[in-house]
Copies of this chain bind each other. A is one copy, B any other.
């Protein structure tokens, strides 16, 4: 029997995804501690939010984190100090970044170089400057470097196996020609309701309001409608497919915020004025309808042409992108091996539990590699 081993887990972020992850981590830790292949003990070494942190110097348990975090009066460490603290752990450390914080993302190379592995859904680490992308993967053990491992499945399509599939296509020598899909649960819900394939659908502004009420949008819906979230995901996929995309603003991204409303001082003012533009959206809908098509908000990467774009497009009603339901994502990989019929992955691409699942899945991968 191999010796029991201990791996130390540091978690930043305890919001929607963070809470679900901590619950999954508890379950995983219990399972691994009684693994027939010899136990692995997962010990929480740190739990931090933007405001406070708990340092588990006695590496005890995961069972009481919520109360302990609430009771903490300790401010979080500055990131370089955090790295110094983590490397002192008497074993391998995995940092789980469940934030969407740019500053944390910027410090990944520092953590990786110190041998700390990272799993995260934080899109900003992989969709900001190309320099940060290079610095991260130059330091990571799973690519060129000799530091920690890094995995980020949930940065695109939440727990759907999008990034692992794209990596496997390229690693095994397939040629990815085009990637196309609906990459935002919010945009999926909005357009599936605005123009269902069965006809009908409401005014665009009414659908935005409904989506906000149902919790399908960011607190300020403009943060979804500007297309930046989708542009970040496309940046990640395009880079993995081999394109040197400088940033999520270096290719055409169609914003659904009318120019006239860019200056609104609040999300509420924006929502109030949005109905003024329903006529424009109805025109788009009508034009598509005349061709037997529907309008959807999609992203695509054309690898040979080096083109990335995000915006509205028309699809035949029988097209899988048109037939999407609810807030599902769909991602189609057109490759040399798969020919005309793409490899398609479809399902919920947002939500705490499925996003956390991608993070937990990545943690399992790291644990296998750290054996």
Residues of A within 8 A of B (CB): 2, 24, 27-28, 31, 36-37, 141-146, 159-161, 164-165, 168-169, 171-174, 318, 320, 323, 325-326, 328, 337-348, 353-354, 357, 360-361, 364, 368-369, 371
- Copies of this chain, whole number: 2
In the assembled complex, the Cα of A353 lies from the Cα of B335 at a distance in Å of 12
A31 to B143, CA, bound (A): 13
Q: Is the CB of A27 within 8 A of B173?
A: yes
Contact residues in B for A174 (Cβ distance below 8 Å): 357
Q: Which residue of B159, B173, B342 contacts A347 across the interface (Cβ within 8 Å)? A: B342
Flag if B343 contacts A172 (CB, 8 Å).
no
User: Could you pull out 20 A-B pairs where Cβ atoms are within 8 angstroms?
Assistant: A28-B172, A28-B173, A36-B143, A161-B161, A161-B345, A164-B164, A168-B357, A168-B364, A171-B364, A172-B357, A172-B360, A172-B361, A173-B360, A174-B357, A320-B346, A337-B353, A341-B348, A343-B345, A344-B344, A369-B371
Minimum CB–CB distance from A356 to chain B (whole Å) comes to 8
Q: Which of A164, A347, A353 has the most CB of B within 10 A?
A: A347
With A360-B172, A360-B173, A364-B168 as known contacts, state yes or no: A341 contacts B347, CB within 8 Å.
yes
The 8 closest A-B pairs by CB, nearest first: A343-B347, A344-B346, A172-B360, A36-B144, A27-B173, A168-B361, A337-B353, A172-B357
CB distance from A113 to the nearest CB of B (A): 15
- Say whether B369 contacts A37, CB under 8 Å: no
Across-interface contacts of A28 in B (CB, < 8 A): 171-173
Closest to A198 in B: B318
Q: A37 to B346, Cβ gap below 8 A?
A: no
| Among B24, B159, B323, B348, contact of A318 (Cβ-Cβ < 8 Å) | B323
Q: In the complex the two chains form, what is the Cα distance from A360 to B91 in whole Å? A: 33
Q: Which B residues touch A340, using CB under 8 A? A: 326
Residues in chain B near residue A2, CB distance under 8 A: 146
A172 to B172, CA, bound (A): 26
Q: Tell me the minimal C-beta distance from A311 to chain B in angstroms.
A: 25
Q: Is the CB of B341 within 8 A of A344?
A: no
Q: Are A347 and B347 interface neighbours, CB within 8 A?
A: no
Q: Which of A165, A320, A337, A361 has the most CB of B within 10 A?
A: A337
Q: A2-B146, A144-B37, A161-B164 are in contact. Are A171 and B348 (CB under 8 A)?
A: no
User: Do B338 and A347 touch (CB < 8 A)?
Assistant: yes
Distance in angstroms between the alpha carbons of A212 and B146 in the assembled complex:
52
| A172 adjacent to B24 (CB under 8 Å) | yes
Given contacts A337-B348, A341-B348, 11 further A-B contacts (CB under 8 A): A27-B173, A37-B146, A161-B161, A168-B357, A169-B357, A172-B360, A323-B323, A338-B348, A338-B354, A343-B347, A344-B345
User: Looking across the interface, which residue of chain B has its beta carbon closest to that of A172?
Assistant: B360
Q: Is the CB of A159 within 8 A of B348?
A: no
What is the CA–CA distance of A371 and B368 in the complex, to the nearest angstrom?
Answer: 11
A137: shortest Cβ distance to chain B, in Å?
A: 10
- Alpha-carbon distance A337/B335, docked complex (angstroms): 30
Distance of A307 from chain B, by nearest CB (Å) = 23
In the bound assembly, the distance between CA atoms of A144 and B38 in angstroms comes to 8
Instruction: Give CA–CA (A24, B174) in the complex, Å.
Output: 9
Closest-by-CB residue of B relative to A357 is: B172
In the assembled complex, which residues on chain B have CB atoms less than 8 Å from the CB atom of A325? 341
